[in-house]
Amino acid sequence: MHPLKQLMNPASLAFWGASNNPMKMGTIQLTNVLETGYHGEVFPIHPTESTVLGLPAYKSIMDVGRPVDLAQLTLPTDVVPGVLEECGRAGIRSAIVISGGFKEAEGAEGKRLEREILEIAHGYGIRFLGPNCVGVFNSLCNLNSTTIPRPPGGGKIALASQSGAYTAMINPFLRSEGIKICQTLSVGNEADIDLTDCLDYLREEPEVRAVGLYVETVRRPLEFIEAARRIVREKPVIAVYVGGTEAGSRSALSHTGALSGPDAVYEGLFRQAGVIRADDIDEMLDFLRALAAQPLPPGRRMAVITNSGGPGTSLAYHVEKEGMIVPPFSEGLCERLDAITGRFAFVRNPIDLTFEVDLSIFKRLLEIVFESGEVDGAFIYGIFGWADFMTNLEKRFPGIEQMRESWESAYEGFLEELAAVPRAHGKPLFVTSFIDAGGSSLRTLIEGDVPVFPSASRAARAMRALLDYRLIHEREGQ
């Protein structure tokens, strides 16, 4: 069993650094552990308090009197070695060291302390995350040991990061975008467990369908490439690398003691490893939600279906700019589309339905287009959701609210059916829309695993990532 399996799925957790003072980082973390509904047992360790957050507190791990799977240490730097030693004596074999002040700090003392805790861990067979990290999240056992309330759970995306911010502070952003997360691992200074270990662990996690990495350095390049090539046979890996400029490199060194390298070196490393590079965290999340949700396109021919000319043109442009094509449809396919729409002479690919159209038509058009064999994937720009059109109308037309509700519910039915089409045909569908971004219509699509992007360029780049991964997957021979 991979050592991270126990660390990420502990039956019990001993916690150092939480008290009854809500302004302490450890207290905020343990509060989140409890409020997230962690499935296991929790043992707060505190030198003076008899209870912490309503739980019985123990003076020492030795007083707990039964085996404990995981220790989290949110403690001043200088007491970490002693507590880790105690953990070892108590039989704990997994730890998360939140504390900073180790290798990333200036001067020799931090580096010495980091070597010391690594030696202690080796002596007892303890594997640990950190130091200088923010904790973990695992939706499978509701473990959230960070300071931030959990991200939306139930997803197929895992994040492993040399930045804590990008695994926890990011949660409000994930909520607002509707991006569901399965597991997050903040690796900090990587004294012991590093991103390479995370790749090996996440490969074996069946719920995880796509992995995102935030990288300031790769500490074991050869092992990283090997681990990456193993995992990308089964699931895609997307990485953000920001160490490759003078200031980026200087910043990374002080952040996690990372020795970064030139951008081109990492570009080559990722390419060799079969890892797809994203420009920044937002693009990484675009790629991940697309890869985790949609089938891979068998080729690069794309359909564009729109009910608004500008977004349709934008999609056509960006899809081609990203190396795909938007082929004109054959005469036969056009005739079948005309039979559905009852209209003629509207352009075929993009299909522009213009303003007034029965919105259920999207699903029927998409099915015919996919069945034709003339495309490998599709984009829809849709004016989805009635809410905005109705806002002012409802003030003038009493009763329209009821109509709206019945339309919206019918419309959500159409969208559920639409969302089922890609998987039935083994071809991906992305949606772009400005309308009703946080509204129920788009939520229906997102729940149905159809990614919704606000712009054509973001949707096109995400489709390109699917194509890139298909090539990687073929190359790695699975």
Kindly state whether residue 245 participates in binding its own copies, applying the rule CB under 8 A: yes
> Residue 383, interface with its own copies (CB under 8 A)?
yes
Minimum CB distance to its own copies, residue 5 (Å): 26
For residues 459 and 451, give the distance between their C-alpha atoms in angstroms, rounded to a whole number: 9
The two tokens of residue 43 are 């043992």
Q: Which of residues 254-313 bind its own copies (CB under 8 A)?
A: 254-256, 279-283, 304, 308-313
Kindly state the smallest distance separating residue 399's Cβ from its own copies, in Å.
9
* Count of helix runs (H) and strand runs (E) in the chain: 17, 19
Residue of 6, 12, 28, 416 interacting with its own copies (CB under 8 A): 28
Burial of 270 (0-12, 13-18, 19+ CB in 10 A): buried
Find out whether 97 and 43 touch, Cβ atoms under 8 Å.
no
Among 105, 141, 265, 357, binds its own copies (CB under 8 A): 105
Q: How far from the centroid of its chain's Cα atoms is residue 403's Cα?
A: 38
d(CA 223, CA 229): 10
Which of 361, 352, 295, 309 is closest to 329 using CA atoms? Answer: 352
Output the CA–CA distances (angstroms, integers) from residue 227 to 202, 232, 428, 438, 468, in the order listed. Answer: 10, 9, 28, 38, 19
Which residue in the block uniquely carries the two structure tokens 């691992």? 185
Based on the shown chain and the rule CB under 8 A, indicate whether residue 320 belongs to the binding site for its own copies. Answer: yes
Q: Which of 87, 97, 326, 466 binds its own copies (CB under 8 A)?
A: 326
* Least Å from the CB of residue 353 to its own copies: 12
Using CB under 8 A as the binding rule, the residues of this chain from 116 to 155 that contact its own copies are 147-149
Instruction: Please report whether residue 389 would count as binding its own copies according to CB under 8 A.
Output: yes
Which of 1, 108, 339, 356 forms a contact with its own copies (CB under 8 A)? 356
Indicate which single residue of 100, 178, 236, 274 sits in contact with its own copies (rule: CB under 8 A): 100
**Least CB distance to its own copies at residue 6 (A):** 25
CB of 262 to its own copies, least distance (A): 12
Which C-beta is closer to its own copies: that of 232 or that of 302? 302
Closer by beta carbon to its own copies, 183 or else 308: 308
Among 347, 410, 424, 471, binds its own copies (CB under 8 A): 347
- 3-state DSSP assignment of residue 438: coil
For the bound state, the minimum distance from the C-beta of residue 445 to its own copies, rounded and expressed in Å, comes to: 15
The secondary structure of residue 154, as a DSSP letter, is: S
Contact between 318 and its own copies by CB under 8 A: the answer reads: yes
Shortest distance in whole angstroms from residue 240 CB to its own copies: 8
Site string for its own copies, 418-457 (x = CB under 8 A): ----------------xxxxx---------------xxxx
The C-alpha atoms of residue 362 and residue 15 are separated, in whole angstroms, by 53
Q: How far apart are CA 444 and CA 449, in angstroms?
A: 9
Sign of the CA dihedral running 352, 356, 359, 365: negative
For 235, phi then psi, to 5°, come to -155, 150
